[in-house]
């Protein structure tokens, strides 16, 4: 034996070990590849030997070579051999090699399953550890499925060292084998309270990562994490939890409110920058998600901004960078708070670190206002001049353009200034963004009519100095601006003063060195110029001049005819022929100018970039169907335009149909405008306030304010744009002075004109009037364009598979117990005495998690006690869904959980009681549903109003009606009379607005909520109580748990915990209605309030005290009040552009359109404004005055609803509710 | 850490940025800041150690990746990081990831994290790893990592697993490594004695 060992060692003496290999590679720098291939040959020899030590050494060397980039996949089998060595030394090397080079495509990986399983159950914890570590790198779906159960068992290993590794690797297993999530989750959750901090933090890591991918399934864990957050001192864990809360709050705004305080405390107290940064980030996220609900968080924002300012001012570049990064998140929702730190951000532009400068640039984008735009851009222009390196300069360039053009040029008050900026930017050499500048020039010149004259003069100058620009002819280089310049000069040639000079500039021989697409535009626009010169000359009778210009064209055009570029060549030869023909006519002294100019008659309208895409496909048109027989060889046509310029050219050809003269065009335009104005269904796209001008008739007649050019156009020694800064300052100063002085009538008139502009923007900017009328033409969109393009979520998202409902597991109430199919596969032939099936594990988890020492647990306990009691007394069990959220709701609605310590503990029973309870739930649910149906059948409805009652209730006592009349008069107009079918030709199905609130063998409650027009913060809840029993019900008292937003109005002097007595008693079989008023702050979101009805049941045997829990659901629709609206007012409303837009589509609708509208009217309190065929516009108003406009369209089996509303949250919630209603149709 | 701490390679150039939107700002309000948005998730994707000369010293991938892609990403990222000037901040957005790097003497430690991860805590993680190496090797230098690269991996594996930090306590990580090494020595002891004999 010893001899053999000695022999092995002697063998090894001649082998290289890793050190030798490394040294060798370092010594063979010149012929490294050759040396390594030699080494690989040696390694191959070594791998053939039986000695495992030699093999391990070889694999170790291979691992090193793999890092250097050499392929070692051929040795996969040898690696497995080394993995299965019994000695830890070798095993370790084997697993390392495997973790470095195995992946899902490695075919031998399936051979490792049993080896890994063996190592996982090794008595040596380091064997297990090394196997887990390796597996975490190369786990495949197969391995995950086969080993999930083994790993799950390891989560309860006695050694924390193994537990923490097992917990961490579970995440990888879930990803590869999502089916394992449900069975493994209870145990994972249990690990959140593991005594070992390492295991605990591992569990936090895994659950946080899971939860952040699919937050909604983990909402009910919030209380547990909240507790961890307030008790943990480990920053690593805290960061994870805080991050998790950041993901949960958008789903549950109440959580955000609860979080703000502890987070602010942490921000104040922590010294760890990483934690501070995380807290600030989460507070920002929370505030963003709350921004609609809670107005009083400016203190928190201020705190964040303050802390971030400290970070940005820090000398540590990292903190500076992150500070700016976080600041940009605040900017999106609270621009004001950030804007006050403009100085600091501008300072960062001077930072030596480019990444910081770029961050600062990002921030500037959101910080500009009308006031400071010029100043900021000026600063950026200075940076452009000093910037070294084209990358950063290009970045500055694009940023300047982004900043100026954002929100449809919202912040530009002086377009001359902007054109000058663009022209100045053309001096940049070596930029790759020539096309960007060009696109801006085109856009501004086309859409801002008032600026055309100025733009044309500037462009003519550019064309004249083309030699300066054209030196750089690379694609997308600065020469692209010539494209824009040529087109603008040609198209708007009527504004050109020295057309001759420009034409000559365009005909220079140097032009032929420009890229083809630019030459093509040159050629085309030369003709436009030529046409206008011709016209001018003919009008003034200069026949010679006209002939001269024709001659010039004929002389110079041939240089383009010879072009290698097809487009240029073709255009040039056509035009050359045309002009030759003109020359002939000119010689015959025929006037030609009018005919030539007619070639270019008509105006080009800007078309929105997505317009084509948004044209709805007409019904019955199948775009994929062949029109003719498919051709034999499939030619692939590239439909996508490659650059905007191609796009532009297409526009040319489309609009330039010579047979349509201007009159015809104008007529059509007028007709279209008329049509649109009269069409209430035409929802105009108006992304920015300026666009509201678009269809205002006669906008051209608004007199344009003259620019006060008291300062000469050229200020010597100063770049062009700077002069505007000065001018602007003076102008503003003057304006201010004027304003401060007296208010003359004449001035009032003048200002009145501006006022419409100004009022669109923030108050602080109100006093800045644009220098001249900004007549921005809106891009055209097709009628009935589909409003938004949804970006679909990535269907390949690996985390989607983990979107698994865990709620019943989470809340410890397995109402859906793990099915057999959900058990993890267990290797039966192996010794499984240590393995427990997941099912037997579940109750264990519960027991553990129900330790009464925790506050939350106590609360749950209490809830469960209640549940049990109900169970015993055969009372109604709440809907399953409600149960799920119950704990969370309670936790969220009350700040400190009640410290009830007197509750008796009876854990074993609890576990047993759960399952029958679950069954009970299902049964009750079914009953409920049946009853609801019955109820609905018995009810009548009208088209517009809600008040319907069961027939059996008609006989109901009069006092009910009385009480109703008292509290809201809106019901007076519609009593319980049978209005069925009186308004419409076809009968409507019976509908009831009364929904079931709660029910038990004694009593049934249904309710309806109505808004109160008189009071914008109150709604009235009418509850019908029906005595179902044979006993007498009395002393009914209704109580709800108020939320921050919604509170029950109680008589003065009573506390929030007092209930409100129901003002009647109920004899057997009788029902009656009572009303309760609720106050609320925000109405943009639906609310749920938990409540209890307590009452005394009195019969022959005596009296008992009973309780019935319920949940009051305030839907968003209940805040709406049916309000009629005339179609013209409706159209005006839509045009105003103040409304947010959103839409839904529901498929599988079979009911008639009329029924559908009736349903929306009835359940969602809308009124029909107008209806045409299968299209209708509807309107409603919230109690707080939000306008809600709908456009409902019915297609085959589907309904699409486009909505507009002042508040986007309210709208999306309303639409969601509608979707739910409709999907039941 | 010892080793030469010379000036960083002062290469000009900057970060790679996404190619600008060809439709241009004329398209109206749709245009915002064009920074690539890092995806969700808060795990580490991979960790690289490389020298100033661009030699890879250690790579750990927490998301199985094909060799080809690995090579490409390593090459690209190394280029980006090495081009950065010494006074620049340690974070950059790269592809859909965030990269956190720090230079210790001649070695760059570089982690790619997902969009939601905390940059500062990652920096802390890098620092802890360096501390662990330092404790283990006793004032670590690049050569230690080259010649004992498997040890460097073992330490990393004890510290980080599957892209998540495994143990926040340095002590327990070192203890685990020491114990595993002890186990290894038990295995190896007879051989190393003989080997020394052979070498003598």
Chain A residues with CB under 8 Å of B147 CB are 18-19, 22
Stretch A907-924: mean pLDDT? 43
Cβ-defined contact of B120 to A235 (cutoff 8 Å) = no
Q: Which of A409, A476, A423 is nearest to A454 (CA)?
A: A423
Residues of chain A with pLDDT > 70, as a percent, come to 69
Tell if the CB–CB gap between B67 and A355 is shorter than 8 Å: no
Number of domains within chain B: 1
Give the pLDDT score at A475: 55
Which residues from chain B sit within 8 angstroms of residue A87, using beta carbons?
A: 187
Residue B76 is part of a domain; what is its CATH number? 3.30.450.60
- State ipTM: 0.80
Percentage above 90 pLDDT, chain A: 11
Is B20 inside any structural domain? no
- Domain assignment of residue B28, yes or no: no
* pLDDT tens-place string over residues A391-421: 788 888 888 998 898 888 888 888 889 999 9
Task: State which residue of chain B sits closest to A5, comparing Cα positions.
Answer: B191
Nearest Cβ partner of B154 from A92, A137, A358? A92
Interface check A53 vs B, CB under 8 A: yes
Please choose, from the candidates A856, A861, A889, the residue with its C-alpha nearest in 3D space to the C-alpha of residue A1112. Answer: A889
How far is residue A373's CA from residue A387's CA, in Å, rounded to a whole number? 20
pLDDT-wise least confident of A654-668, A836-850, B137-151: A836-850
**pLDDT for the residue A696:** 42
B23 domain-assigned: no
pLDDT band of residue B193 (cuts 50, 70, 90) is very low
DSSP per-residue letters across chain B: --S--------------PPPPTT-GGG-TT----PPPP-S---EEEEEEEETTS-EEEEEESS---HHHHHHHHHHHHHHHHTS-TTS-SEEEETTEEEEEEEETTEEEEEEE-TTS-HHHHHHHHHHHHHHHHHHHTS--HHHHHHTHHHHHHHHHHHEETTEE--S-HHHHHHHHHHHHHHHHHHHHHHHHHHHHHH-
From the list A167, A220, A209, A215, the residue with the least C-alpha distance to A192 is: A167
Name the residue among A523, A528, A530 with its Cα closest to residue A568: A523
Confidence band of A783 (pLDDT split at 50, 70, 90): low
Is B22 in CB contact (< 8 Å) with chain A? yes
**What band does A826 get if pLDDT is binned at 50, 70 and 90?**
low
Q: Grade residue A978 by pLDDT with cuts at 50, 70 and 90.
A: very low
| Test mutation, A67, A387, A441, chain B, max B CBs within 10 A | A67
In the stretch 781-820 of chain A, residues with CB closer than 8 A to chain B read 799
Contact between A152 and A822 under an 8 Å Cβ cutoff? The reply is: no
pLDDT confidence of residue A168: 93
Most confident of A7-16, A488-497, A1130-1139: A488-497
pLDDT score recorded for residue A739: 64
Residue B81 pLDDT > 50:
yes
Give residue B12's pLDDT.
29
Q: For residue B59, list its beta bridge partners.
A: B48
Write down the pLDDT at residue A484. 92
Q: Which 1108-1137 residues of chain A touch chain B by CB within 8 A?
A: none
Q: How many CB atoms lie within 10 A of CB B54?
A: 14
State whether B121 and A164 contact (CB < 8 Å): no
Beta carbons of A69 and B43 less than 8 Å apart: no
Burial classification of residue A596, based on how many CB atoms lie within 10 Å of its CB (0-12 exposed, 13-18 middle, 19 or more buried): buried
> What was the pLDDT predicted at A292?
54
Is the minimum CB–CB distance between A7 and chain B shorter than 8 Å?
no
Q: Is A688 on the interface with B (CB under 8 A)?
A: yes
The verdict on residue B57 lying in a domain is yes
- pLDDT classification of A683: cutoffs 50, 70, 90: very low
pLDDT over threshold 50, residue B180: yes
The tens digit of pLDDT for each residue in A24-64 reads 888 888 888 889 888 999 899 888 888 888 899 999 999 99
Q: Is B162 on the interface with A (CB under 8 A)?
A: yes
- Give the confidence band of B58 by pLDDT, cuts at 50, 70, 90: very high
Question: Rounded to a whole number, what is the distance in Å from the CA of B107 to chain A's nearest CA?
Answer: 16
Whether B164 and chain A come into contact, CB under 8 Å, resolves to: yes
Which pLDDT band, with edges at 50, 70 and 90, does A823 fall under?
low
Residues A924-942, mean pLDDT to the nearest whole number = 48
How many angstroms away from the CA of A1013 is the closest CA of chain B?
37
Given pLDDT bands bounded at 50, 70 and 90, which one contains residue A985?
Answer: very low
Contact at CB, B118 and A277, closer than 8 angstroms: yes
Average pLDDT for A1103-1129: 84
- A1024-1071 pLDDT per residue, tens: 888 888 888 888 888 888 888 888 888 777 777 788 888 888 888 888
> Among the listed ranges A259-268, A874-883, A1161-1170, B101-110, which one has the minimum average pLDDT value?
A874-883
Whether residue A80 has pLDDT greater than 70: yes
Tell me which residue has tokens 């029973």.
A909
In A715-854, which ranges are continuous DSSP H helix? 720-740, 745-758, 807-810, 838-849
pLDDT for residue A808: 56
Q: Is residue B26 part of a domain?
A: no
| Chain B residues inside the 8 Å CB shell of A13 | 195, 198-199
Mean pLDDT of chain A, nearest integer: 75
CB-based contact B31 A402, cutoff 8 Å? yes
Q: How far apart are CA B28 and CA A443, in angstroms?
A: 9
B89 vs A318: CB contact, 8 Å cut-off?
yes
Alpha-carbon span A799 to A810, nearest angstrom: 19
Minimum-distance CB partner of A406 among B31, B43, B146: B31
How many whole angstroms separate alpha carbon A290 and alpha carbon A989?
Answer: 40
* B residues 118-157 closer than 8 Å to A (CB): 118-121, 123-124, 146-147, 149-150, 153-154, 157
User: Do B66 and A103 count as a contact with CB atoms less than 8 A apart?
Assistant: yes
Nearest CA to CA, how far is A162 from chain B (Å)? 11
pLDDT value at position A1018? 83
Decide which of A710 and A276 is more confident.
A276
pLDDT per residue as tens digits for the range A154-183: 999 999 999 999 999 999 999 999 989 988
Radius of gyration of chain B (CA): 20
What does the pLDDT read at residue B9? Answer: 31
Domain-embedded: residue B130 = yes
**B7 at the A interface (CB within 8 A)?**
no
**Residue with the two structure tokens 């990393």:** B156
Cβ proximity of A280 and A1069 under 8 Å: no
**Cα–Cα distance, A1050 to A1041 (Å, whole number):** 12
Query: Highest-confidence range of A458-462, A1130-1134, B85-89, by mean pLDDT?
Result: A458-462
Domain-located, residue B166: yes
Chain pair A-B, CB pairs under 8 angstroms:
250
Closest CA to A426 of A454, A368, A467: A467
Say if B13 falls within a structural domain: no
Q: Search chain B and give the residue with CA nearest A777.
A: B28
Which residues make Cβ contacts (< 8 Å) with residue A668, sequence separation at least 6?
A: none
Give the lowest-confidence range in A509-513, A942-946, A1100-1104: A942-946
The average pLDDT across A503-529 equals 89
Interface test with A, best of B167, B174, B199 (most A CBs within 10 A): B167
Q: Which residue of A has its CA nearest to B71?
A: A69
Q: Identify the top-confidence range among A418-427, A880-889, B40-49.
A: A418-427
DSSP for A819-856?
Answer: PGGGSPP--TTS--TT---HHHHHHHHHHHHT-TTSHH
> Bigger pLDDT: A915 or A276?
A276
**Residue A710's CB: how many other CB atoms inside 10 A?**
9
Among residues 300-329 of chain A, which lie with CB inside 8 Å of chain B? 317-318, 320-322, 328
Segment A280-306 mean pLDDT: 76
Residues sharing a CB contact under 8 Å with residue A1216, sequence separation 6 or more, in sequence order: A1144
Q: Which domain covers residue B138, as residue numbers?
A: 44-197
Residue A74, pLDDT > 60, answer: yes
User: Is residue A644 very low, low, confident or very high in pLDDT (cuts 50, 70, 90)?
Assistant: very low
A168 touches chain B (CB under 8 A): yes
Q: Is the confidence at residue B162, as pLDDT, over 50?
A: yes
Q: What does the longest C-alpha to C-alpha distance in chain A come to?
A: 122
């Amino acid at each position: 034996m010893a001899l053999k060992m000695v022999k092995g060692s002697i063998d090894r003496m001649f082998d290289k070990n890793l050190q030798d290999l490394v040294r060798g590679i370092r010594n063979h720098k010149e012929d490294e590849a050759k040396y390594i291939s030699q080494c690989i040959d040696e390694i191959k020899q070594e791998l053939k030997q039986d000695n495992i030590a030699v093999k391990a050494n070889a694999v170790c060397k291979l691992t090193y070579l793999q890092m250097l980039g050499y392929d070692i996949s051929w040795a996969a089998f040898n690696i497995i051999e080394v993995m299965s060595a019994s000695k830890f030394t070798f095993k370790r090397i084997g697993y390392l090699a495997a973790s470095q080079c195995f992946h899902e495509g490695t075919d031998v990986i399936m051979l490792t399953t049993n080896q890994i399983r063996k190592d996982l159950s090794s008595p040596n914890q380091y064997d297990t550890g090394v196997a887990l570590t390796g597996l975490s790198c190369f786990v495949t779906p197969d391995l995950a499925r086969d080993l999930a159960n083994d790993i799950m068992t390891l989560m309860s290993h006695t050694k924390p060292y193994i537990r923490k590794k097992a917990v961490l690797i579970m995440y990888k297993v879930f990803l590869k084998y999502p089916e394992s999530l449900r069975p493994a989750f209870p145990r994972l959750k249990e690990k959140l309270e593991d005594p070992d901090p390492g295991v605990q933090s591992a569990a936090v890591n895994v659950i946080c990562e899971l939860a952040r991918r699919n937050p909604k399934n983990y909402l009910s864990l919030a209380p547990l994490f909240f507790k961890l957050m307030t008790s943990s001192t480990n920053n690593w864990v805290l960061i994870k939890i805080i991050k998790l809360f950041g993901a949960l709050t958008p789903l549950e705004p109440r959580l955000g409110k609860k979080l703000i305080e502890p987070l602010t405390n942490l921000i104040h107290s922590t010294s760890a920058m990483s934690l501070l940064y995380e807290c600030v980030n989460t507070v920002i996220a929370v505030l963003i998600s709350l921004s609609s609900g809670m107005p009083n968080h400016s203190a928190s924002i201020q705190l964040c901004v303050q802390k971030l300012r400290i970070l940005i001012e820090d000398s540590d570049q990292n903190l500076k960078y992150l500070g700016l990064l976080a600041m940009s998140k605040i900017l999106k929702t609270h621009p004001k708070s950030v804007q006050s730190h403009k100085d600091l951000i501008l300072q960062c532009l001077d930072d030596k670190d480019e990444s910081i400068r770029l961050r600062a640039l990002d921030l500037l984008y959101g910080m500009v206002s009308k006031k400071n735009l010029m100043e900021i851009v000026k600063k950026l222009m200075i940076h452009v001049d000093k910037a070294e390196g084209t990358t950063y300069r290009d970045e500055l360039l694009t940023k300047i353009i982004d900043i100026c053009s954002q929100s449809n040029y919202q912040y530009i008050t002086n377009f001359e200034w902007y054109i000058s900026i663009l022209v100045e930017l053309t001096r940049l050499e070596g930029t790759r963004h020539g096309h960007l500048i060009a696109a801006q020039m085109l856009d501004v010149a086309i859409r801002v009519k008032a600026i055309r004259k100025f733009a044309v003069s500037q462009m003519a100058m550019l064309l004249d100095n083309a030699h300066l620009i054209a030196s750089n002819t690379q694609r997308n280089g600065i020469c692209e601006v010539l494209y824009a310049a040529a087109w603008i000069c040609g198209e708007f040639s009527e504004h050109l003063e020295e057309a001759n000079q420009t034409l000559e500039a365009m005909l220079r021989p140097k032009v032929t060195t420009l890229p083809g697409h630019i030459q093509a535009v040159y050629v085309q626009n030369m003709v436009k110029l030529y046409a206008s010169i011709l016209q001018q000359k003919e009008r003034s009778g200069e026949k010679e001049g006209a002939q001269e210009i024709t001659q010039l064209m004929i002389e110079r055009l041939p240089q383009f005819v010879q072009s290698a570029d097809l487009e240029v060549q073709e255009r040039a030869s056509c035009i050359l022929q045309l002009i030759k023909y003109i020359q002939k006519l000119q010689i015959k002294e025929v006037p030609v100018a009018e005919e030539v100019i007619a070639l270019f008659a008509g105006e080009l309208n800007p078309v929105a970039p997505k317009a084509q895409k948004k044209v709805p496909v007409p019904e019955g048109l199948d775009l994929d169907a062949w029109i003719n027989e498919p051709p034999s060889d499939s030619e692939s046509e590239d439909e996508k335009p490659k650059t905007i310029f191609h796009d532009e050219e297409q526009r040319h050809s489309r609009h330039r149909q010579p047979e349509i003269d201007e009159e015809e065009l104008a007529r059509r335009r007028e007709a279209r405008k008329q049509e649109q104005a009269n069409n209430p269904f035409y929802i105009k796209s108006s992304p920015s306030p300026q666009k509201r001008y678009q269809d205002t008739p006669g906008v051209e007649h608004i007199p344009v304010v003259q620019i006060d050019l008291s300062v000469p156009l050229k200020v010597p020694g100063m770049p062009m744009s700077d002069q505007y800064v000065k001018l602007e300052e003076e102008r503003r100063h003057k304006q201010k002075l004027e304003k401060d002085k007296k208010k003359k009538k004449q001035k009032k008139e003048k200002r009145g004109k501006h006022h419409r502009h100004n009022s669109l923007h923030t108050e602080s900017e109100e006093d800045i009037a644009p220098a001249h009328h900004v007549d921005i033409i809106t891009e055209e969109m097709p009628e009935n364009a589909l409003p938004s393009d949804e970006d679909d979520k990535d269907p390949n998202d690996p985390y989607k598979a983990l979107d698994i409902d865990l709620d019943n597991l989470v809340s410890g109430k397995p109402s859906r117990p793990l099915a057999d199919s959900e058990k993890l596969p267990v290797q039966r032939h192996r010794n499984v005495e240590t393995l427990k099936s997941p099912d037997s594990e579940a109750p264990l988890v519960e027991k553990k998690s129900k330790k009464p020492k925790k506050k939350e647990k106590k609360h749950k306990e209490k809830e469960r006690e209640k549940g049990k009691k109900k169970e015993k007394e055969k009372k109604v069990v709440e809907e399953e869904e409600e149960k799920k959220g119950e704990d969370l709701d309670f936790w969220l609605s009350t700040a400190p959980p009640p410290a009830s310590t007197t509750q008796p503990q009876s854990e074993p029973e609890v576990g047993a009681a759960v399952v029958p309870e679950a069954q009970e739930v299902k049964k009750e649910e079914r009953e409920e549903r049946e009853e609801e149906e019955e109820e609905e059948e018995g009810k009548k409805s009208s088209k517009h109003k809600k008040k319907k009652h069961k027939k059996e209730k008609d006989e109901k006592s009069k006092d009910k009606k009385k009480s109703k009349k008292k509290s809201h008069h809106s019901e007076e107009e519609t009593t319980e009379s049978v209005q069925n079918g009186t308004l419409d030709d076809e009968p409507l199905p019976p509908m009831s607005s009364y929904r079931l609130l709660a029910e038990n063998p004694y009593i049934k409650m249904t309710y309806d909520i109505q808004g109160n027009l008189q009071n914008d913060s109150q709604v009235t809840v009418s509850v019908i109580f029906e005595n179902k029993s044979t006993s007498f019900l009395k002393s009914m008292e209704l109580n709800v748990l108020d939320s921050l937003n919604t509170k029950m109005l109680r008589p003065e002097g009573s506390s929030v915990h007092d209930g409100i007595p129901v003002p009647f008693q109920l004899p057997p079989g009788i029902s009656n209605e009572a009303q309760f008023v609720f106050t609320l702050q925000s109405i943009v979101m639906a609310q749920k309030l938990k409540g209890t009805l307590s009452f005394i049941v009195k019969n022959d045997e005596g009296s008992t005290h009973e309780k019935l829990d319920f949940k009051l659901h305030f839907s968003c629709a209940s805040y709406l009040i049916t309000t009629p609206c005339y179609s013209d007012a409706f159209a005006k409303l839509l045009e105003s552009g103040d409304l947010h837009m959103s839409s839904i589509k529901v498929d599988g609708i079979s009911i008639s359109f009329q029924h559908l509208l009736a349903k929306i009217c009835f359940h969602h309190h809308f009124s029909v404004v107008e209806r045409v065929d299968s299209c209708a516009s509807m309107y409603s108003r919230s109690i707080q005055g939000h306008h809600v406009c709908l456009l409902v369209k019915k297609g085959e089996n589907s309904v699409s609803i486009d909505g507009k509303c002042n508040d986007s949250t309210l709208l999306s919630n309303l639409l969601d509710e509608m979707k739910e209603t409709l999907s039941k149709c | 850490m010892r080793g030469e701490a010379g000036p960083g390679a002062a290469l000009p150039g900057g970060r790679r940025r996404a190619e600008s939107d060809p439709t241009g700002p004329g398209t109206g309000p749709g245009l915002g800041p064009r920074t690539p948005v890092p995806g969700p998730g808060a795990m580490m994707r991979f960790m690289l150690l490389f020298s100033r000369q661009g030699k890879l010293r250690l790579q750990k991938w927490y998301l199985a990746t094909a060799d080809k892609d690995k090579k490409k990403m390593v090459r690209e990222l190394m280029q980006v990081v090495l081009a950065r000037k010494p006074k620049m901040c340690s974070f950059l957005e790269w592809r859909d990831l965030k990269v956190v790097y720090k230079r210790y003497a001649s070695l760059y430690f570089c982690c790619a994290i997902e969009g939601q991860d905390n940059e500062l805590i990652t920096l802390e993680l890098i620092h802890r790893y360096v501390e662990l190496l330092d404790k283990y090797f006793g004032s670590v230098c690049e050569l230690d990592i080259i010649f004992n690269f498997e040890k460097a991996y073992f330490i990393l594996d004890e510290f980080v697993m599957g892209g998540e930090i495994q143990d926040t306590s340095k002590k327990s990580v070192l203890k685990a490594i020491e114990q595993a090494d002890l186990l290894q020595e038990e295995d190896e002891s007879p051989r190393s004695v003989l080997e020394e004999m052979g070498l003598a």
